[in-house]
A and B are shown apart, each in its own frame.
Chain A
Amino acid sequence: MIEIRVHGRGGQGAVTSTELIALAAINEGKYAQAFPSFGPERRGAPVMAFVRIGDTPIRTREKVYRPDIVVVLDPTILKIVDVTTGLKKDGMVILNTSKSEKEIRKEFGIKARMAPVNATEIAMRHLGRPITNTTMLGALIKATHVIDVESMEEPLKKRFGRIAEKNLNAMREAYQETG
């Protein structure tokens, strides 16, 4: 079972991104669970959302305390939240940043494996808005292979209708860009 924690700010679609991952995984015949950190979340405040994906039924209702993967939608979160809290030893941080991996490591002392991608820039080009939740899905999938990138197509189309294509393109570009 793989456990993912997504950090973002209220309104940036962290919850939506976890829902989309879970839906794609379930469409692949896997078991998955997506849920927000329940509470009176406010626009702009730091929020978290969680996903579990497994090949067998998932039998736990705990919050995710020991994630395998952390996704950070908003680079400014790093200054106020320790996103690596509880991260497993061989865990990975998928990070939206315009900085290099070296700069991030130096500034925030992150030791875990890392996959940086400039998702804000990609999202601005494709969507015209700095909303990176769908873009970051591409980075997440490339770095972890938790699901097949094409499995995102159906849930994205269902969720976003006529703007799905733009989101898909942003996601695909992030997939290409992520090392």
Chain B
Amino acid sequence: MPKKVGIEVSLAVSEAVCAADVDVIPAYPVTPQTHIVEHLSELVADGELDAEFMPVESEHSAMSACIGAAAVGARTFTATSAPGLALMHEIVFIAPSLRTPIVMVIANRALSGPISIWNDHSDIMAQRDCGWIQTFAENGQEVFDLIIHAFRVAEDPEVLLPMIVNMDGFTLSHVIEPIELLSASEVSQYLKPFEPQLVLDPKNPVTMGPVGVPELYTEARQQAESVLNGSKKVIVRAWKEFAKLYGRSYKPIETYRTEGAEVVLMTMGSVTETAMTAVDRMREKGIEVGLMRFRLWRPFPHEEFRRAVRGIKALAVVDRAISFGAQGGPVCSKVKSALYGAPYQPQVFGFISGLGGRDITVEMFKQMVKKAIRYAKKGEGPVYELIGVRER
């Protein structure tokens, strides 16, 4: 196995993209994603990566160019953050419909306002229903691995869907830590050249992306939904093969010290590691608490989730975004709806925290667990609550 090197996580993203030997990178820089595209343009300019780097004039153009590139059969990558992702919004929905297997890294950042460059999940939650496969990483190694995995899944002939790898802006993107970088030749054992099923080719003209008249639109959307749901088996299979080759394994839902747990924290992204430390400290004191995190956010792993919560009394779900007016966060809402009608239903308590770059500390996780234990005993708690709000 390769040795761990100290590297900024953003640069490791670029190295993963380089090892995946991409063909086209249309991108526009935006904080905190900037170092990724800067380094990619360097790698291309230095001849280390034989790819077309397209410095486009906006993210709307970036995603449009990505679709065009993938449609002619190019392995395609881009990266962005909140305002850039928002500007892409219109085109983001088109990519799955055209079955273009683009891989995009989102350095998650809060959507304004007030203007914030810092980390939360409001950007990706605003794209929740875009039809892309979406995974979450909690450290630099996972970001690297999930990017390689994303190309493999996206380009699988059974899938052919675009894929988003989420990594927390700043909290991951700007951190230097030890990461095992796989070389291009190591990655080539796992990731074969992209073989597109249908390409734009002047010699054999086809039309991609025509109008979906009412007679066709429903069927097209039904297909998009069914291929996304069906992608889960390919996603899981690709993780298993990844583990066989490189020794690191991933699952749609991953658990930590959930055995005998009364309360289980549910997280996504880099706060998971801090939450693990909180779990360790509480376990030392005899509090029966565990942790569960969604690695795969879309397609939502319904069956795995229902299986994972069996025997757990209460879930403390941590959201990094507000679903305005919905009384809670998007993850907690999804968790509740996934449990509706399930044979076993733990109590669910929603916590929103870590908005716009505010830390979620070990102490805050402890606070959430204590609250959830108290509410569970009482049999009721608030519909949701914000944790870590400064007293006025």
Chains A and B come from one and the same complex:
yes
Which of A's residues lie within 8 Å of B, judged by CB?
A: 18-19, 22-23, 25-27, 31-36, 38-40, 58-63, 65, 155
The answer to whether A32 and B6 touch across the interface, beta carbons within 8 angstroms, is yes
The answer to whether B4 and A26 touch across the interface, beta carbons within 8 angstroms, is yes
Residue of B nearest to A34 (CB): B176
- Of B8, B178, B274, B362, which is within 8 A of A31 by CB? B178
Across the interface, which residues of A come within 8 angstroms of B381, CB to CB? none
Identify whether the interface residues of B are mostly helix, strand, loop, or mixed. mixed
Please judge, given known A-B contacts A26-B4, A60-B273, whether A38 and B174 are in contact too, CB under 8 Å. yes
The answer to whether B273 and A33 touch across the interface, beta carbons within 8 angstroms, is no
Q: How many A-B residue pairs have CB under 8 A?
A: 68
Which of B's residues lie within 8 Å of A, judged by CB?
A: 4-6, 8, 32, 117-118, 168, 170-172, 174-178, 270-271, 273-274, 276-277, 357, 359, 361-362
Across the interface, which residues of A come within 8 angstroms of B172, CB to CB? 61
- Of B5, B171, B176, B178, which is within 8 A of A61 by CB? B171
- Of B6, B170, B178, B274, which is within 8 A of A60 by CB? B274
What is the CB-to-nearest-CB distance from B353 to chain A, in angstroms, rounded to a whole number?
A: 13
Separation of A35 and B118 alpha carbons in the complex (Å)? 14
What is the CB-to-nearest-CB distance from A34 to chain B, in angstroms, rounded to a whole number?
A: 4
What is the CB-to-nearest-CB distance from B25 to chain A, in angstroms, rounded to a whole number?
A: 25
The answer to whether B274 and A26 touch across the interface, beta carbons within 8 angstroms, is no
Across the interface, which residues of A come within 8 angstroms of B5, CB to CB? 26
- Of A23, A40, A60, A65, which is within 8 A of B176 by CB? A23
Q: Which of A32, A33, A60, A155 has the most CB of B within 10 A?
A: A60
The answer to whether B271 and A38 touch across the interface, beta carbons within 8 angstroms, is no
Please judge, given known A-B contacts A40-B117, A61-B271, whether A26 and B277 are in contact too, CB under 8 Å. no
The answer to whether A33 and B362 touch across the interface, beta carbons within 8 angstroms, is no
The answer to whether A59 and B274 touch across the interface, beta carbons within 8 angstroms, is yes
What is the CB-to-nearest-CB distance from B381 to chain A, in angstroms, rounded to a whole number?
A: 26
Separation of A61 and B139 alpha carbons in the complex (Å)? 9
Residue of A nearest to B269 (CB): A61
Across the interface, which residues of B come within 8 angstroms of A39, CB to CB? 117-118
What is the CB-to-nearest-CB distance from A68 to chain B, in angstroms, rounded to a whole number?
A: 17
What is the CB-to-nearest-CB distance from A61 to chain B, in angstroms, rounded to a whole number?
A: 5
Across the interface, which residues of A come within 8 angstroms of B178, CB to CB? 26, 31-32
What is the CB-to-nearest-CB distance from A11 to chain B, in angstroms, rounded to a whole number?
A: 18
Across the interface, which residues of B come within 8 angstroms of A25, CB to CB? 6
The answer to whether B6 and A35 touch across the interface, beta carbons within 8 angstroms, is no
